[in-house]
């Protein structure tokens, strides 16, 4: 079954025009790298496998992020998560590390890798300079993956950082998304972008989602309760049990302050709502928004110029989530667990 | 043009079954009363008119709310609002007053009426007992209304309290909704309810929305960008300029704690997102959730029992907003401003 | 018993130097006005008296605050309060109205006066411009005052605004402080200021406190448990029963952003702690910090320049509270209730 | 120089009576374990030493904390910190892991140890059960310690857990406190407890502080500006440069809800203020409050019963901080850096 973006299937994805690749790397300077770990099959043997996990690194700009931090805002939609680095961003409005996405029990291994990387790059840390705040987000991929095995190692994180490059990026069952489930189907990594007109200029804004939440009957595609229809038609024999969570990382080249980026992050649930998400109990949902254009280089926009950015934030949240569904491929994991890809053609035929 | 609910037009409004009236009064004990103030026409003469405003009162139960307060949770989606009584609810998790909805410049007059009412009912207040926390929400109806005239008087608030009764309630251009605009069409009061199954019991949950936000091109109905289609078809010659805001008041008879009610309130943006809302700059958006079953009468539910309530919260948020649009009737106001009702039949024909 | 400032009694009030008057008006442009309402004696007859209340107005600058709003940050220490205008400041970081302090049941009357004042001054409000966010703080003076009588009228608020002038200001049992109790002794209005050196410049920072909280045994003066000593010595035959609350309004001429002002407000509890306050249940405690130097006129300071401001915020919080105690004079009120002034000479003799 | 508690020096530490050991282990069930790492001397060789660090483990009860979680509330006073596990506690009000304190760059190693421990104890995690939320707090000990060397290893964390025992506990330059500085003197671990009378019962409440903040001139002891006096007297030739931060962990056996525990945590700054703290820029300050009596075993107390707990929270915050100062012994570290102990006798003589 060929995978393709929701937009390429003819679905309406919003008013604003997407960027060149329609992914987060349309924001100049943003780099993304994946490391996918897929190994073994059969029954779960903790510490051995099967391994269905990975790590995704996002770098806001190619420079030294510790020395050139970015304005950032974070919105905790549902705090049931074990992500690292949240209070510092809430206090200071700054991001001074790369961003990792991985599985819940590997956040500390991932952080170890990032710390080694940053210490090496910045000999002043902990000597005569302050420590960075490491940002690692997570979802629980234990339905498919031997999560107890902690198979993501520090060097996988460093590898993902080194692999990070411009787009277009690979989406679906890749990197941190290898073992994730969305609406009891296969989820993972999705992305989208918009060109945002404001005050006579054009800015870029992009989102990357790691999706791992929801029940099939909640799934909406362009407002149509396809999930409910699939469930009633008994199309899906095997539905994965979802431990939940959604991570959203947004980037823009607009010179926005941390307070304004927080306003953008707060709009993410409006996009999540379009996909049918109800933020179930146990679903850790965070949205981080980052600007990679320092306020020293451009005057920040007025709050009254933000409406097109709000529109973009809502649209790319929804489109990223849908793209993770449209791009992801079926994945079998531990104990015979199978997470099936969205049957795109049937869905499209039902949507008329 | 006959007005009717979105549901009665055959639109899909969600998985869960609505209550008898499909409005907030399906929650046993909840009472709603409207006072509509419509007077004069022609150019604005501040202090004289035209008057296009009103007040809506919600009483969580027929008893003395000051002496029998309710557990409550509030979520400030967009704090750009002048509503009264928010910090106390955030601190204590209690509602100990009725709830008023009215226009922005009349919140103090409304509060004066509520205070007179509560002082009369409770001679102990300010004598040997504590003061109540008055809750008054607002939207700005100045596109149609002489808002500077402060035409809602304290006695209108008292009248709304006295009129408060069981349902079904009147929706659309009524009470606080007389002068409100939604997606540049006519908005106002909308409501919806659900029967929520949890742990072998059935609970009721209802929402009442006061809608006054958005641009036409954002409006989604069941995922279809009808607003954009209308705008492109140039169907609407006159579009009202929207000062923004959305108030959501939810009620349930489930024995939920203030913390759990806050979790419900936090899900409201997921429903708002379904209608196309992007929470524009300047739009004060609040969601208050109240339980009228005291925790002393029933053990609170576990957090893990809340998913059906989350589902209901999302569905009734969206349906209440749509109902305000489907029920509202066109209204002409000051300076020739006209706010047109949604053309239901055209919309339905376009939706196929 | 002559009343004088804590500092003039030789008590150590901190490291930084105070401004000329050692009150909030040392910040250039800040104006303060009081209206004190004292009338009648004897048993409480609700609606008649005795009246022991008032209103205090603070204007951040002499200009039109609606058209020239100020950066502002607010910290809700204990949300058990009925103050008006909090969510808007939290969302926008702006103050676009004067500030009133008054009693709990008069906040709506006070707001009515402020609204009339602002509508008159700004004919564009509600016509083709947005509405202001009215800020009215309160404490409960019902131990002395006929609070149910709502004796503060809208015109008293307007009068306080018109009376607002530069300093030195009157402190103690004046304005909103007429009927307030502190540590079961007489409290009311207190103020203090500091000269804050930062980056080679000198800024001014001032605080005004409305004090109405605490039990005698908690009171600390310069770390000495004088309250406990007084209680044990049974010095105070009559102790007022305190319904609680503390309002702190700070001003500075430093060009700080709303985020930085919020950081200042968050330090206020550190000053409150020095006075022995424990933020009892039912005590609504808010700290608002405002800069009257627009960021368009000067680059904001770096976060790393803020430590002297933090020091100043802590010191003037404590000194303002103590000053309200040292300046306040004994006051008899309803039903024979008596609130005694701090016996300064005994206290000083005990402190050695 | 013999070290002893602030209380044993005759200083007034508050109204309420302390528990048997006047430390956190007075709360029945609470266990504390330290691992101190002190090795090498001379110039800093990153990765080699000198090592001046450690880890402290707190277990709320002797049982399986993952399976028997505790109600918990957390207050972020100053979010400039890299502590792990904050958002989950804010969302759920639960603590389901032990608590570690260590240095900033060792939080991930410490977390690795805790994770290994919890996975071993609970084979269901990540198999058919949810993941725990690991709580690791930190301060920056890089003034004395080779922090880049990451000398705290996962097994040190496991060792601290295994060593955790009932009291009395060791305080001062021990465990996570080995390399910490307070008011530019030696800080580290401090603790205190209170017997809290409420509703005819007696509860226990204890605090453990990890102190690493402040400048000498801010230090107050019982309200006396001893730090300023020391600075002016030039007593301290060498003052350590403080990277900042304060961690407070409180425990109680009172059956309090997470909302009430949050109210307690919010009072911690009132105690910090008594010691002279101003929460400088860069100082990550967190207060976690935990109840180890499940609400299923006892009805929660009313909010109106909390005042004695607030009093206790304020007192033990201040006393814990002072105790860390009074117990800590001088420590020499990297590059000839020396952090001197408080000269207790001089201080006492100055205080008269």
Q: What are the chain C neighbours of D267 within 8 Å (beta carbons)? A: 278-279
Check whether D251 has a pLDDT greater than 70. Answer: yes
Minimal-distance CA residue of chain C relative to D307 = C280
| A282: alpha, beta or left? (left if phi > 0; alpha if psi -120 to 50) | left
CB contact under 8 A, A91 and D112: no
- CA of B177, closest CA in chain A: separation in Å? 24
Q: What is the largest CA-CA distance in chain C?
A: 64
Phi, psi (degrees; rounded to nearest 5) at A258: -60, -35
Write down the pLDDT at residue C142. 95
CB contact under 8 A, D93 and B259: yes
CB contact under 8 A, C82 and B134: yes
Write down the pLDDT at residue D336. 92
Is some CB atom of chain C closer than 8 A to the CB atom of D227? no
Is some CB atom of chain B closer than 8 A to the CB atom of D68? no
Chains A & B: contacts with CB separation below 8 Å: 94
CB contact under 8 A, C278 and D310: yes
CB contact under 8 A, C269 and D269: yes
CB contact under 8 A, D278 and C307: yes
Write down the pLDDT at residue B2. 82
Chains B & C: contacts with CB separation below 8 Å: 113
Write down the pLDDT at residue D121. 96
Show which subunits contact C, needing at least 3 CB pairs below 8 angstroms.
Answer: A, B, D
The overall average pLDDT reported for chain B is 95
Q: What is the pLDDT of residues A214-231, one digit of tens each?
A: 999 999 999 999 999 999
- CA of B6, closest CA in chain A: separation in Å? 14
- Token pair listed for D38: 């002190």
- Residues C194 and C19 sit within 8 Å (Cβ to Cβ): yes
Q: What are the chain B neighbours of A307 within 8 Å (beta carbons)? A: 278, 280-281
* CA proximity to B285, closest of B301, B272, B304: B272
Partnered with residue B134 across adjacent β-strands are none
Provide the 10 A C-beta neighbour count for residue B4.
12
Q: What are the chain B neighbours of C147 within 8 Å (beta carbons)? A: 126, 131
- pLDDT tens for chain A, 352 residues long, are 689 999 999 999 999 999 999 999 999 999 999 999 999 999 999 999 999 999 999 999 999 999 999 999 999 999 999 999 999 999 999 999 999 999 999 999 999 999 999 999 999 998 888 999 999 999 999 999 999 999 999 999 999 999 999 989 999 999 999 999 999 999 999 999 999 998 889 999 999 999 999 999 999 999 999 999 999 887 666 777 766 899 999 999 999 999 999 999 999 999 999 999 999 999 999 999 999 998 776 778 999 999 999 999 999 999 999 999 999 999 999 999 999 999 999 999 988 7
Partnered with residue A70 across adjacent β-strands are A95
The count of C-alpha atoms lying within 13 angstroms of the C-alpha of B58, restricted to the half-sphere facing its C-beta, is 33
Of the candidates A84, A92, A115, the beta carbon closest to that of D105 is on A115
Q: What are the chain D neighbours of B92 within 8 Å (beta carbons)? A: 303
Write down the pLDDT at residue A237. 66
Residues 11-40 of A with CB under 8 A from D: none
Is some CB atom of chain C closer than 8 A to the CB atom of A210? no
CB contact under 8 A, B92 and D258: no
CB contact under 8 A, A81 and D104: no
Chains B & D: contacts with CB separation below 8 Å: 7
- Token pair listed for A96: 């001074």
B14-50 burial, b for 16+ CB within 10 Å, e for fewer?
bbbebbebbbbbbbebbbbbbbbbbebeeebebeebb
Pairing of strands B246-252, B285-291: parallel
CB contact under 8 A, B266 and A310: no
Q: What is the pLDDT of residues D2-42, one digit of tens each?
A: 899 999 999 999 999 999 999 999 999 999 999 999 999 99
Question: Which domains does chain C possess?
Answer: 7-335 (3.60.70.12)
Is some CB atom of chain B closer than 8 A to the CB atom of C201? no
* Total H helices, total E strands in chain C: 8, 14
* CA distance linking residue A82 with residue A103, whole number of Å: 10
Phi, psi (degrees; rounded to nearest 5) at C128: -130, 20
Partnered with residue B290 across adjacent β-strands are B72, B251
- Residues C90 and C100 sit within 8 Å (Cβ to Cβ): no
* CA distance linking residue A250 with residue A261, whole number of Å: 9
Write down the pLDDT at residue B128. 81
Q: What are the chain C neighbours of B109 within 8 Å (beta carbons)? A: 112
pLDDT beneath 70: ranges in chain C: 1, 235-237, 242-243, 297
Write down the pLDDT at residue D242. 67
Q: How far is CA A219 from the centre of its chain?
A: 18
Of the candidates A225, A280, A318, the beta carbon closest to that of B12 is on A225
The mean per-residue pLDDT over the stretch B11-31 comes to 97
Look at A231-245, B225-239, D92-106 and tell me which has the smallest mean pLDDT: A231-245
* CA distance linking residue D347 with residue D3, whole number of Å: 13
Q: Which of A225, A259, A266, A269 to mutate to test the interface with B (most CBs of B within 10 A)?
A: A269
CB contact under 8 A, B279 and A270: yes
Write down the pLDDT at residue B1. 60
Write down the pLDDT at residue D352. 73
CB contact under 8 A, C278 and D314: yes
Write down the pLDDT at residue D296. 73
Of the candidates A76, A80, A148, the beta carbon closest to that of D125 is on A148
Is some CB atom of chain C closer than 8 A to the CB atom of D300? no
Is some CB atom of chain B closer than 8 A to the CB atom of D92? yes
3-state SS class at C324: helix
Q: What are the chain C neighbours of D277 within 8 Å (beta carbons)? A: 270
Residue D289 CB partners (closer than 8 Å, separation 6+)? D72, D73, D74, D75, D250, D251, D252, D261, D262, D264, D265, D313
- Token pair listed for B56: 């809506």
Is some CB atom of chain A closer than 8 A to the CB atom of D285? no
* CA distance linking residue A308 with residue B213, whole number of Å: 15
Of the candidates D217, D224, D272, the beta carbon closest to that of C273 is on D272
ipTM over 0.85: yes
Residues 242-271 of A with CB under 8 A from C: 258-259
Q: What are the chain C neighbours of D274 within 8 Å (beta carbons)? A: 220, 223, 273-274
Of the candidates D87, D112, D130, the beta carbon closest to that of A282 is on D130
The overall average pLDDT reported for chain D is 95
- CA of D194, closest CA in chain B: separation in Å? 26
Is some CB atom of chain A closer than 8 A to the CB atom of D120? no
Check whether D81 has a pLDDT greater than 90. Answer: yes
Write down the pLDDT at residue B235. 60
CB contact under 8 A, B224 and A222: yes
Look at A82-86, B155-159, B297-301, C253-257 and tell me which has the smallest mean pLDDT: B297-301
Q: What are the chain B neighbours of A217 within 8 Å (beta carbons)? A: 15
Is some CB atom of chain B closer than 8 A to the CB atom of D232? no
Q: What is the pLDDT of residues D263-319, one digit of tens each?
A: 999 999 999 999 999 999 999 999 999 999 987 767 789 999 999 999 999 999 999
Write down the pLDDT at residue B237. 66
* CA distance linking residue C142 with residue C137, whole number of Å: 16
Minimal-distance CA residue of chain B relative to A352 = B352
Minimal-distance CA residue of chain D relative to C302 = D281
Is some CB atom of chain A closer than 8 A to the CB atom of B291? no
- CA of B222, closest CA in chain A: separation in Å? 5
Q: What is the pLDDT of residues D126-182, one digit of tens each?
A: 888 899 999 999 999 999 999 999 999 999 999 999 999 998 999 999 999 999 999
Q: What are the chain B neighbours of C91 within 8 Å (beta carbons)? A: 76, 78-80
């Amino acid at each position: 079954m060929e995978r393709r973006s929701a937009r390429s299937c003819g679905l309406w994805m919003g008013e604003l025009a997407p960027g060149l690749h329609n992914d987060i790397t349309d924001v100049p300077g943003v780099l993304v790298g994946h490391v996918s770990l897929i190994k073994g099959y059969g029954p779960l043997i903790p510490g051995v496998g099967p391994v269905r996990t990975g790590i995704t690194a996002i770098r806001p700009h190619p420079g030294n992020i510790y020395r050139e931090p970015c304005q950032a805002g974070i919105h905790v939609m549902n705090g049931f998560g074990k992500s690292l680095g949240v209070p510092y961003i809430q206090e200071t409005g700054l991001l001074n590390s790369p961003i990792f996405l991985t599985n819940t029990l590997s956040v500390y291994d991932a952080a170890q890798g990032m710390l080694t990387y940053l210490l090496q790059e910045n000999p002043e840390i902990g000597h005569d300079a302050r420590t960075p705040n490491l940002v690692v987000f997570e979802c629980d991929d234990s339905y498919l993956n031997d999560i107890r095995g902690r198979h993501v190692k520090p060097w996988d994180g460093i590898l993902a950082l080194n692999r990070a490059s411009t787009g277009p990026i690979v989406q679906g069952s890749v990197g941190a998304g290898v073992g994730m489930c969305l609406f009891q189907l296969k989820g993972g990594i999705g992305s989208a972008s918009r060109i945002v007109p404001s005050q006579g200029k054009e800015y870029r804004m992009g989102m990357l989602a790691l999706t791992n939440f929801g029940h099939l009957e909640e799934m909406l595609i362009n407002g149509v309760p396809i999930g409910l229809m699939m469930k009633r038609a008994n199309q899906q024999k095997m539905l994965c049990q979802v431990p939940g969570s959604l991570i959203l990382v947004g980037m823009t080249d607009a010179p926005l302050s941390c307070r304004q980026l927080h306003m953008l992050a707060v709009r993410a649930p409006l996009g999540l709502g379009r996909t049918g998400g109800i933020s179930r109990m146990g679903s850790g949902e965070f949205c981080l928004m980052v600007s990679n254009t320092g306020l020293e280089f451009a005057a920040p926009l007025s709050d009254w110029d933000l409406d097109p950015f709000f529109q973009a934030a809502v649209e790319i949240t929804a489109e990223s989530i849908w793209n993770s569904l449209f791009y992801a491929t079926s994945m079998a994991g531990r104990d015979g667990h199978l997470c099936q890809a969205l049957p795109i053609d049937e869905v499209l035929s039902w949507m008329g």
